[in-house]
Each structure stands twice: as C-alpha cells, then as structure tokens.
Structure 1
Amino acid sequence: MKTQPDHNSYLVEVNGNQYRVIFLDNGNVLFDDHEYSLDMKRNNIPNQYSLLIDNESLFLSFMPDAEPNRYRVSSDGYFFETEVLSSREALLREHLVAAGVGKKDGKIKASMPGMIRQLLVKLGDRVEADQGILIMEAMKMENEIRSPISGVVTNFGVEEGDAVEKGAFLFEIEAS
C-alpha cells in the first residue's frame, strides 16, 4: 500500500490486512476511505479505551507486544494481532524495503491459532509481493495470508483443513 506522509495518518495492519486510518480535523476518522464519527475515551483501566463509532459502543484493550508498534487488541472476546505505523514510519519502511534494506523473510508463520480453509496457490507457483497465498480462519474471521515478497512458493507447512497454533510454519517463498 503506497503511503504519503501526513501527521494524522496511520497504516494499521490487523491480522495481516492493511488499512489506512486518518484522523480528520472535524473529529471523525477515515478508515479505508469510509468516514465514521468517532468519540474515544481512555478508561481508568490501563490500556483500555471506550469508543463510540457512528453511535455504536466498542471497548478495546491494547496489550503492547515485545516488538515496537505491535499490539494484541481484544474486543468482546476476540483477539487481533496489530501493527500501527505513522505515515512517516510506513513511508520510511516502504523506501527501505524497495532499496533491499531489511529485506523481508519469505518464511511465514501463523500470528495466531486458526484453521486453514483454502490454499490459493500451489507449490512451485510464482507469486508477487502482497499476493494471497492461503485463507486462515481465526476468531470466526477469514484472513487472507499474503506473501511478503515476490518469488516462488517452495514449501507448505500446512494443508487445507489443518488446525494451526500461533507460531506454526505456514509457507515459504523463495525470492527471485
């Protein structure tokens, strides 16, 4: 996803899917090109927030991960692995990756427990960066797991129907 620097703009990754979030001057939020009214309050409990989004109430808990900008977010018993980058951080990462600095690894592991629903490619297939490789159901949501790099699918650690734990090896892409 191409980024442009903006002080109120963030790139948010939730379970492997990226979204652009922009806090507007009128107090609303633009989430992936859809504008919502937003009222957010910090609760008395650390890392907990009450949100009112288009008059719907939502409670979120943020648990910081060991890695910078990463959080485990919970809401109504559901858990989400997230990464939040300011537009400047996202732009810097984009340029560094394009220059080959900090090149992404092609070995992908499950960020949470789930069930493999569908393999979208076959062993030996050539794939592009950000192309969907498999569908994994986690927390009653289907998530498309994408390739971080362009290359060839050299290994699958799962088959359709497999239950996987957090950290389980899913697939490997060899850069080309």
Structure 2
Amino acid sequence: MLLLGAKGSGKTTTALALAERGWLHAGDDLVVLAESDNGDLMVWPGKPTAAIRDPLRALAPKPLRDLEPFAAAPAPLRWIVRLAVHPSGGEASLTSAVPLSVNERLRLHEGLARYISGLPTPLTGVASAPYGPVWPLDTPACAQWRANLIGALNNHRFDYLYAPTACAAADLLTKEADR
C-alpha cells in the first residue's frame, strides 16, 4: 500500500499503527516505484527510519526511529490511499478515488515533479533562481514518465481515507484488506 497525504496528514503514525497490526514497512517519506518486466508497478523498500516529533516538544529535533518490521524485497503495488487523519475527521471512512479526478491527477503530477531526486523543482520556468541555483532535473521524458505512472495508478485501487486517529485509520485499512 502506498500512503499519500500532505505534511502532517498522519502517514507516518498510520504506518506505525499498521506495523503494530502486522503490516510491513517499506519506507517513510521515500519509496521507489518501478515497473516489473511484466508491467506491474512495484514498491521497492526505501528509507528504513522515520523521524517522529514528540508533540510535547514541538521545537525539538525529531529523533529517528527504526521501522520494524521492514520489507526486505520489492512487492507489487496493490492499493493507494490518500490519507487525512484529524481529530475532527469523524468516523473513519474510505471513498474511492477511481477514476482519478482532474484535481487528483494534477496533485500527483505536482507532487512527483517537485521531488525528482529529492530536490524541489519549479512548476514553471524561472528567469533567475530566487534562492540559489535550480538544476533542470525535470525533462519532457520525465514528464511523460509521470503521465504514464499516473495512468498506471488509475488502474489500481485508490481511496481517500478520513479518520480521527491513526489507530482508527489503521483499523479500517486492516479490516478492508482482510476482505
């Protein structure tokens, strides 16, 4: 499963709650998506640690935590979930996002374009670099790859999940996966 969401949306805490329910981690903030020889999308394990801020020490550095259990090999991508965990979220619920809306396709294009090689890239050209050099990492070939990837994601289960807590999100995902 690939968890997507804005900063602070509950991705890491939900992943930790899923691990407590027997799920494997494949990374926090970084995984690699690739096509297998037969065209399936695969999730390759990424960073095996997570930086988790103590809510009582908001200004303190985030200590690193090992993600356990951690995947040792790539696995087929089966499910994508855009997550929003917030106390005002009400009862945990899943809503299908397939077929992907124009807004979701744009959000995916933007997210993928901004973090090529881990460096933010501009969405539009700039005449001069506002904060230092900006390397031209994005190319027409890369944009075509993103479009193909988003098309492939549209062929997978893709849901929006709203939940009041990460535990409620993990419970619903586990229950749904067991069906």
Q: Which has the higher contact order (CA 8 A, sep 6+)?
A: 2
Give the alignment's TM-score, normalised by structure 1.
Answer: 0.27
Which structure carries more strand by proportion? 1
Which structure carries more helix by proportion? 2
